[in-house]
Amino acid sequence: MRQVAADLWETETESPFPGLTTHAYLWTTPEGNVLFYNTTHAAEIDAMAELGGVAHHYLSHRDEIAPSLATIRERFGAKLHIHKADAGEVSQTMVDDAFDTRHTAVAGLEVIPAPGHTPGSALYQATIGGRRYLFTGDTLIHTEADAWWPGYLEGHSNRETLLSTLDLMTGLTPEVVVSSAFQGDSGVTEIAGGTWADGVTAARRALAEAAG
């Protein structure tokens, strides 16, 4: 695992689908470690054990479901959290928290339903090392062209619902954005002051115009 902040660790890259690269992220907290997204690398799960294991496992959407969910639960007793609309896709283990409302959870983590990429997509916002981190899953990805791409896939996503989610996202104020899928070298993007809302608005405009 690679340390990307004082209390945040990034797993080795993997490619669950052709052309797609992802990381998972472990947030170490006194209230129990939190894993965002998912990994299938056994060596990375061993590394999590050395960092104190996983108390809570938060998925951003159904595409992160894999047999390793059961491995992580059995090894660490991790509680699995996923939006209610995608929870029915989990067959490898039990879901402890099928949420559908915005709320505050362990260590002040803000859980934000964000449907559109899939019916059960979600965002997670946490204060890590004194900075606001927003975990966007595949709902919004920073591109190699230094722009934001909303995770709309024809036949997979709901455009109107995703547009509403992007409206919600303009009101957030992250200092660092961490996506699941990513382009370039990393899914971790520093947000320059005052640029977030404009970037999300531009992504929303491009998605809306594509419908025409």
Whether residue 16 has pLDDT greater than 90 = no
pLDDT(17) > 80: no
The CATH number of the domain holding residue 80 is 3.60.15.10
What is the C-alpha separation between 45 and 41, in angstroms, rounded?
7
Q: Which pLDDT value is given to residue 207?
A: 95
Count of domains forming the chain? 1
Q: How far apart are CA 9 and CA 179, in angstroms?
A: 14
Instruction: Give yes or no for a contact between 137 and 62, defined as CB atoms under 8 angstroms apart.
Output: no
Confidence grade of residue 84 (pLDDT, cut at 50, 70, 90): very high
Instruction: Determine the pLDDT at residue 20.
Output: 74
For residues 56 and 75, give the distance between their C-alpha atoms in angstroms, rounded to a whole number: 12
pLDDT of residue 145: 85
Average pLDDT over residues 87-113: 97
Question: Which domain range does residue 169 map to?
Answer: 2-210
**Is the pLDDT reported for residue 101 higher than 70?**
yes
pLDDT at 212 over 70: no
149-203 pLDDT, tens digit per residue, is: 999 999 889 999 999 999 999 999 999 999 998 887 788 999 998 899 999 999 9
